Amino acid sequence: MNTRIAMPLSVSIAAVLALASMECRAIEPLDTFSFRIGGYITDFDTQVRADGETRTGTEVDLQRDFGLDKNNTVALVGLTWRPWDNHEFGLSYYQDDADATRRITRDIEFDGTLYEANSTVRASADLDAYDLYYVWWAANNERWTLGPRFGLVWYRMRFGLDVEIDSAGNRIDGSISETVDADVPAPSIGGSWRWAPLDQWRFSADVGYFSANVNDIDADITFGRIGAEWFPWERAGFSLDYARRRITADAERSDFIGNLEFVDSGLRLGFVYRF
């Protein structure tokens, strides 16, 4: 079992067993506080171009050109807090990494370094995502709520290429390598909706969009999420949702000059404790 999800799953199972005898009551559309832990079945699609000081880099697809696995299952933790009736804050975090080795079929310019066709290159990608949001529940009713949402996901990304065997067949063992780090803020402005039509079920949706220059990154961001929660116990239950965020960004920073097209999407299954 993937070590990233072994601990969250064992904690969830223990919590379920401990709560098995609790009485169920009707849930509300909103919680005062909630904590969730679970797994995120990711589907990342990444194209990146890293320019050098004098030359434009080659746009590469990390999955197609280097064979990085776009699908993985990682742990996700999150919490929400509603200190006032119509104001809610949320925070979640997840981390993913991947690497692969492949013989490339074309010349690739990456961060000022040329990787020649027929070289064997090891590619790596690391991602940390911090997801924050605020919702003002302008319409707050007994069974449903609706309001504007302000979100920010801060991605910390690291991409690396290392030549293991050059185009002539000589073993290099990483003496030709480049790594770029990029902090990519992805804000969004949109709306949120919650609906609790049945005693044990709650449904939700969030949407957002943003286009601006933030932190020397000119970006277009679209975001959407839809989900359902089932609470067989008064304060504990399970969640399942699908989220998708797409970022197209041009960066002119000291740590990264280039272009990034990034899609972060997937299913998220979790155990929720609420009150």
Which residues contact residue 13 at a Cβ distance below 8 angstroms, ignoring those fewer than 6 apart? none
Locate the DSSP E strands across 112-216: 113-115, 120-136, 139-140, 144-165, 177-195, 201-214
Tell me the HSE value of 231 on the side-chain side, using a 13 A CA sphere.
Answer: 27
Per-residue tokens: 96: 């993913």
Three-class DSSP labels, 94-122: EEEEEEEEEECCCCEEECCEEECCCCEEE
Summarize pLDDT for 213-246 with one digit per residue, the tens. Answer: 877 889 999 999 999 999 999 999 999 999 999 9
CA dist., res. 209 & res. 184, Å (int)? 15
Residue 13 is predicted with a pLDDT of 52
Backbone angles phi, psi at 10, to 5 degrees: -65, -40
Residue 20 is predicted with a pLDDT of 44
Residues of the chain short of pLDDT 70, as ranges, are 1-25
Which residues contact residue 76 at a Cβ distance below 8 angstroms, ignoring those fewer than 6 apart? 8, 36, 37, 38, 39, 40, 92, 93, 94, 268, 270
Residues of the domain holding 27? 3-274
Please give the tally of structural domains in the chain. Answer: 1
Per-residue tokens: 6: 């072994």
CATH number at residue 180: 2.40.128.90
Residue 176 is predicted with a pLDDT of 86
Summarize pLDDT for 147-191 with one digit per residue, the tens. Answer: 999 999 999 999 999 999 999 899 987 788 889 888 888 999 999
Residue 8 is predicted with a pLDDT of 53
From the CA atom positions of the chain, what is the Rg in Å?
22
Residue 20: DSSP 8-state: T
Of 203, 213, 193, residue with least CA distance to 148 = 193
Beta-ladder partners of 192:
147, 206
